[in-house]
Each structure stands twice: as C-alpha cells, then as structure tokens.
Amino acid sequence: MVSLLTVEGLSGLLFFGFIGITLAGAIIATSARSLIRSVAGLALCFLGVAGLYYYLNSPFVALMQILIYVGAVCVTIIFAVMLAESSELKQITSRNGLVGPLAFLASGILVFALAGLALKTEWRPALCMVNRGTVENLGQSLLTTYSMSFELISVVLLVAVVGSLVLARAGRDK
Amino acid sequence: MYILVLSNNLQTYLVIGALLFGIGIYGMVQRQTFIGMLISAELILSGASLNFMAFNRFLAPDPTVGQVFTLFIMAIAAAEAAIALSIIIAVYRNYKSIDTEDVVDLQG
C-alpha cells in the first residue's frame, strides 16, 4: 500500500505524467497534418522517454536523450522542413482509402503481440550484479570493454557528416 | 494503491516500448512525406531503446550494457537522420516535392 501523499506516491504520479507525455507526443507526431507540428510532437515524445530513462536509474542517458534528440535531431528535422516545404493543400491526392485502416490493423496486431509476449513471459532477474550501473561504471566500461565500438562509432559519425554534406551540396549550382 | 508503484515494474516499460513501436509502424505506413516517415522511424528506434533500458535495469547482471547500447543507438540515429535529411533535400531540389507519390521514376 502506497499512499498518494508520500514521496513514492508523488513519484508514481509523475511517472504517469511521463507516460502520458510520451504517448501523446507519439500520437501527435504520427497524426498531425502539418510537418512542423509533428516534429513538435516528436520532441514532446522524446522528453517523455527521457523521463522514463530517469526512472530506470540512468540519469546520464536521460540527459543525453534530451541533448541529442530534442536538441539536435529535432532541430535538424525542423531545418529540413523549412528548406523543403511541402504544400499542405495537395496532401490528399490519389490514394487508396484502405491504407489508413490497414496500417492501424497491422500496427495494432504488432502491439498486441509484443505486449502480450511481455506480459505473459516469466522474466527472471539476474542472480548477482557486477556493478551498480552508475555514471562512473558507464564511463569505465565505455573506455575499456567497449572502446573499440566507441572508436568505430566516431568513424561512422564522421563519415555520416561528410557524406551528408556531399549529398546536400550536389546539384546546388543549378 | 498498487497502481502507484508501476514505475518499478518491468512489464510497464515493455508495454510502453511496444506502443511506441506500433505507433511508429502506423506512421511509417500512413505518412505521405519523406520527413514524416523519418519521424516515424525515430519513434520506432526510441521504442527499441526503451526496451533495452528496461531489460538493462531489471534483468541484466551488468547494468552498464544497456546504457552503452542505448548511447550507440542514439549515435546511429543521429547519423541516420543527417543522411536521410540531406537525401530529402537533394530529392526536393530535383523534384520540387517531398511527397512519396511524386518520386516514382523507377515505377514500372
């Protein structure tokens, strides 16, 4: 029994707030008519997911989520929307009317299957913990166990930056 | 009030991750512009990383593995967004449109 007016109760309420923000942002992101609004919904959804990460004992990943996704990815998408504005009026063109309901059906089946699997399986927790998963442990394992992947991901990011510059530059003189 | 301790429960996070994934799939099929599809792909990726973080918190013996994996997913998603957006801008420059119905030159 947890009363509402204790610390646990209030943090439980806040958790529901984060779930609501996440799902509302995701629904806005997929169903808003204008692209700018759906990017705003995406930013809202990422904020909610960052809150959920905080509840999962990883404040560092929550901060990185806000910094990278809300601060960088969403802003980049907004720039692309501004550079390549689509006219909203000719949005509904020749299109099969069955696409919406079929998409809803397919995603509904997927969600039902995944959620059912998650609820039915009997998850066994680990017998012993190697460490507590603090920021210090995270930094140590990033620079020892996963140092190779860390370097590789830097190379991937470098190639992606150079490649996107080349792609966006091609045909600019026209 | 049992419902207030849901934040300490693995299944809650798994169901939220599944919902994010499903909403992303719905947007992927239903959206008509490239940027809309990219936004849905980001939703799918965040559902997957939420699952990783949940398993990391509740089941993994080494709780740094999932955090490292989620950080790598973030880096890959940022690279993917940069590449996809520059392709979208290149497509817009050639077709004057980002509608998926207009870019059909290879359609038989």
Number of domains in chain A: 2
A124 within domain boundaries:
no
User: How close B52 comes to chain A (CA, Å)?
Assistant: 11
Cross-chain residue pair B21–A111, CB shorter than 8 Å: yes
29-68 of B, contacting A, C-beta below 8 A:
29-33, 35-36, 38-40, 42-43, 46, 49-50, 53-54, 56-65, 67-68
Q: Do B63 and A129 touch (CB under 8 A)?
A: yes
Residue A17 located in a structural domain? yes
Summarize pLDDT for A67-116 with one digit per residue, the tens.
999 999 999 999 988 888 765 545 555 566 788 889 999 999 999 999 99
Contact A123 B89 (CB under 8 A): no
Distance CA(B100)–CA(B92), nearest Å, equals 11
The answer to whether the CB atoms of B79 and A156 lie below 8 A apart is yes
Closest Cα in chain A to B37: A30
Question: Does some domain include residue B105?
Answer: no
- Residue in chain A closest to B15 (alpha carbons) equals A115
Percent of chain A with pLDDT over 70: 90
Distances (CA, A) of A10 to A17, A73, A174, B5, B74: 11, 32, 59, 10, 30
Kindly determine whether residue A12 and residue B83, on different chains, have CB atoms separated by under 8 Å: no
Averaged pLDDT for residues B6-19: 90
Output DSSP code: residue B6. Answer: G
CATH code of the domain in which B19 resides: 1.10.287.3510
Q: What is the ipTM of this complex?
A: 0.91
Asked if residue A118 belongs to a domain, the reply is no
pTM: 0.90
Identify whether B74 is part of a domain.
Answer: yes
A38: Cα separation from own chain's centroid? 14
CB count in 10 Å sphere of residue B56: 23
CB pair distance less than 8 Å for B26 and A30: yes
CATH of the domain at A21: 1.20.120.1200
- Number of domains chain B contains: 1
Q: If you ran DSSP here, which 8-state letter would residue B99 be given?
A: B
The residue range of the domain holding A82 is 1-87
- pLDDT attached to residue B95: 84
What tens digit of pLDDT does each residue of B51-79 get? 999 999 999 888 899 999 999 999 999 99
Boundary (domain end) residue, out of A54, A87, A120: A87
Specify whether A62 is located in the same domain as A143: no
Provide the domain limits for residue B46.
Answer: 7-95
A69 contact partners, CB below 8 Å, separation of at least 6: A43, A46, A50, B42, B46, B74, B77
Q: ∠ CA(A89), CA(A24), CA(A96), 5° rounding?
A: 40
Which two structure tokens, joined as six digits, stand for B33?
A: 């512009």
